[in-house]
C-alpha cells in the first residue's frame, strides 16, 4: 500500500477500514529497514512511537470518531527537526550528547495533530551546509533513479525517500536551495515557502535570516495539502493559471543549461503561452551575497563549539564554517545592504508579473565519483555550484515551488516557479496546469529497481 502511494490514498484506505494504520506503519518500517541500504536516506527509525500513534488512530476509527485528514500517513523529517524524546543531531556527531528534545518541532506538531505519523529522521549534509548529502558520519545518500548519482542536498535523504517510494511526503529545510536542488535531482515535488510563513521552532538553525522549512511530496496534491496543514490555515483559492502573468527568467538563468533542460523549458513556456522574458539585476552579486550571509551566520553560530570540538566536525563543513566566522563584519553588513536593494528590485518586478519560471539545476544529477557540473564551458565542483540558480532566489525570501519535469531521458530535471511573498497559491495554480498538460509530474521508479 505505501510504496508509491499518495498521502490522500493512504488516509482514505485507513478511513474506510480497508487498511489499518498499524499495518501501514509496519509496512513502511519494514520497507525502510529492508530497502534503504542502497540509498541511505534514513538515519534513525521511530518504530515504537510510530506504532503507538497508529494504534491510537485505529482506536479512534473503531470508536466511530472522525479521523483527521492525514490519519495514519507516515512521513519522515530531515535530521534537524526536533522529535520529542530524541536527540536532534543535524547530521553531526557533535550534538550526539546534547539533551533529547522536550517537544516536537512546531510543524511536526501540526502534522501529528492532522494524524500524520513521523517514522524516521533522514540524512542530510552536516548542519545543512552542502548540496550533496555526502555525510562523513552517516554516509552518502544515493539518487534512487541511479545509485551512482547524487541525490542533492542538503535535504537529500528527504528527497530520496520520496523518490524511492518509501514515504509519500517528507520535511526538509532550504537556505540556499536545500529543498529545490534535491527535489530537482530526484524528480519529486518540493516547496520552499515564503520566508517566515512556516514556523521554524524546533528546527536546528543554519542561517537565521535565510532558513526556511518546507517539504517534499510524490504528488502535487500531497504537497499542497501538507503545506496548508503546516501553515495552520485553510487551503487558499488558487487563481486560474490563464489569468496569471507568467514570465521566463533570462540572462543568468538561461546560461549553462543542458540541452534537454532548454527543450523542456521551451515546452513549458509554450504550454503556458508565455512569451515574456525578464532579467533580474546583479544576479551574480545576489548569489555572492546569499553565500556570504550564510557563511557568516553559520560560522558565528558554530564558533563556540568549533573552539572546543572542531575535530568532531566533518572536515568539509568545519573548514567552511571557520572561514565564515572569520569574515569581517563589514562584509556581512554590505551583503545585507545589497539584499535590501535586491529585494526591492524583485518587488518592482512583481508589479508587472505574477509567476517567474527558472531552471532549478543546470541539468541531470551528477555522478558521485565525478562530482562536477559544467559552468561557462568548464567542469567545476558540483558541491559548490549546484546552487547556481537557487542561491540568488533565496536572498529576497520568495516562495519557490520546484516541480519535476517530464524528461525524454532517464533522469529527472527540475523547474523553479517563483512568486511574490505569500503567493504560494499562484505557484500551485501554475503547477496544476503543467501537471494537467503532462509536462510535470513525479515518475515512480519501476518496482524491479527497488527490489
Please give the full DSSP string across 155-182, using - where no structure is assigned.
SHHHHHHHHTTS-SEEEEEESSSTTHHH
Q: Which grid coordinates belong to 205?
A: 538553525
- Give CB contacts under 8 A, 24+ apart, made by 33-38: 35/164, 35/166, 35/450, 36/161, 36/164, 36/166, 38/142, 38/147
Tell me how crowded residue 9 is: count the other CB atoms within 10 A of its CB.
18
Residue 112 is among the residues annotated as catalytic for this protein: no
Residue 18 is among the residues annotated as catalytic for this protein: no
User: How do beta strands 400-405 and 189-192 pair?
Assistant: antiparallel
With residues binned 3-state (H G I as helix, E B as strand, rest as coil), the percentages for the chain, rounded to 5, are 40, 20, 40
The torsion region of residue 215 among left (phi > 0), alpha (psi -120 to 50) and beta comes to beta
> Of these residues, 5, 154, 207, 219, which one is catalytic?
154
Residue 178 is among the residues annotated as catalytic for this protein: yes
Instruction: State how far the Cα of 336 lies from the Cα of 29, in Å rounded to an integer.
Output: 45
Instruction: State how far the Cα of 319 lies from the Cα of 304, in Å rounded to an integer.
Output: 15
As beta bridge partners, residue 127 has none
> Of these residues, 178, 184, 207, 218, which one is catalytic?
178
Query: Closest Cα partner for 122 from 74, 83, 168, 172?
Result: 172
**Does residue 186 contact residue 159 with C-beta atoms inside 8 Å?**
yes
Close Cβ partners of 449 (under 8 Å, ≥ 6 residues apart): 144
Determine which helix (DSSP H) or strand (DSSP E) holds 37, and give its type and residue range. Answer: none
Placement of cell 489569468 in the chain: 243
| 43 three-state secondary structure | strand
Determine which helix (DSSP H) or strand (DSSP E) holds 244, and give its type and residue range. Answer: none
**Does residue 315 contact residue 350 with C-beta atoms inside 8 Å?**
no
| 42 three-state secondary structure | strand
Instruction: State how far the Cα of 400 lies from the Cα of 357, in Å rounded to an integer.
Output: 10
> Of these residues, 6, 19, 20, 78, which one is catalytic?
78
Catalytic residues: 78, 154, 178
Amino acid at each position: 500500500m505505501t510504496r508509491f502511494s499518495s498521502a490522500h490514498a493512504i488516509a482514505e484506505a485507513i478511513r474506510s477500514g480497508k487498511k489499518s494504520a498499524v499495518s501501514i506503519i509496519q509496512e513502511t518500517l519494514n520497507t525502510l529497514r529492508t530497502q534503504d541500504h542502497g540509498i541511505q536516506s534514513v538515519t534513525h527509525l521511530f518504530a515504537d512511537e510510530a506504532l503507538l500513534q497508529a494504534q491510537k488512530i485505529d482506536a479512534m476509527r473503531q470508536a466511530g470518531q472522525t479521523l483527521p485528514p492525514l490519519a495514519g500517513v507516515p512521513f519522515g523529517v530531515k535530521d534537524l527537526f526536533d522529535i520529542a524524546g530524541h536527540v536532534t543531531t543535524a547530521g553531526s556527531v557533535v550534538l550526539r550528547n546534547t539533551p533529547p528534545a522536550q517537544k516536537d518541532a512546531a510543524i511536526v506538531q501540526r502534522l501529528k495533530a492532522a494524524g500524520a505519523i513521523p517514522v524516521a529522521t533522514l540524512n542530510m549534509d552536516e548542519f545543512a551546509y552542502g548540496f550533496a548529502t555526502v555525510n562523513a558520519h552517516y554516509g552518502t545518500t544515493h539518487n534512487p533513479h541511479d545509485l551512482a548519482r547524487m541525490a542533492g542536498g542538503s535535504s537529500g535523504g528527504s528527497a530520496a525517500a520520496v523518490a524511492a517510494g518509501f514515504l509519500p511526503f517528507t520535511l526538509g529545510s532550504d537556505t540556499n536551495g536545500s529543498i529545490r536542488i534535491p527535489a530537482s535531482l530526484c524528480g519529486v515535488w518540493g516547496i520552499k515557502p515564503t520566508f517566515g510563513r512556516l514556523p521554524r521552532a524546533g528546527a536546528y538553525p543554519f542561517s537565521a535570516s535565510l532558513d526556511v522549512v518546507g517539504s517534499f511530496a510524490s504528488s502535487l496534491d500531497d504537497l499542497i495539502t501538507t503545506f496548508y496543514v503546516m501553515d495552520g490555515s485553510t487551503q487558499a483559492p488558487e487563481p486560474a493559471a490563464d489569468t496569471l502573468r507568467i514570465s521566463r527568467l533570462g540572462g543568468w538563468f538561461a546560461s549553462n543549461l543542458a540541452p534537454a533542460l532548454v527543450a523542456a523549458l521551451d515546452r513549458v513556456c509554450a504550454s503556458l503561452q508565455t512569451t515574456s522574458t525578464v532579467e533580474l539585476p546583479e544576479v551574480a552579486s545576489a548569489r555572492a551575497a546569499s553565500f556570504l550571509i550564510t557563511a557568516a551566520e553559520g560560522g558565528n553560530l558554530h564558533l563556540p563549539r568549533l573552539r572546543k570540538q572542531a575535530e568532531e566536525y566533518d572536515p568539509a563543513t568545519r573548514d567552511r564554517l571557520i572561514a565564515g566566522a572569520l569574515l569581517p563584519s563589514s562584509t556581512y553588513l554590505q551583503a545585507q545592504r545589497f539584499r535590501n536593494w535586491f529585494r526591492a528590485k524583485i518587488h518592482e518586478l512583481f508589479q508587472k508579473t505574477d509567476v517567474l519560471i527558472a531552471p532549478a539545476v543546470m541539468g541531470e544529477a551528477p555522478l558521485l565519483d565525478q562530482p562536477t557540473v559544467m559552468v561557462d564551458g568548464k567542469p567545476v565542483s558540483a558541491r559548490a555550484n549546484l546552487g547556481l540558480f537557487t542561491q540568488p532566489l533565496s536572498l529576497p525570501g520568495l516562495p519557490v515551488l520546484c516541480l519535476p519535469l517530464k524528461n525524454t531521458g532517464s533522469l529527472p530535471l527540475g523547474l523553479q516557479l517563483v512568486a511574490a511573498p505569500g503567493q504560494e497559491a499562484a505557484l500551485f495554480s501554475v503547477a496544476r496546469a503543467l501537471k494537467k498538460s503532462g509536462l510535470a509530474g513525479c515518475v515512480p521508479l519501476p518496482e524491479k529497481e527497488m527490489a
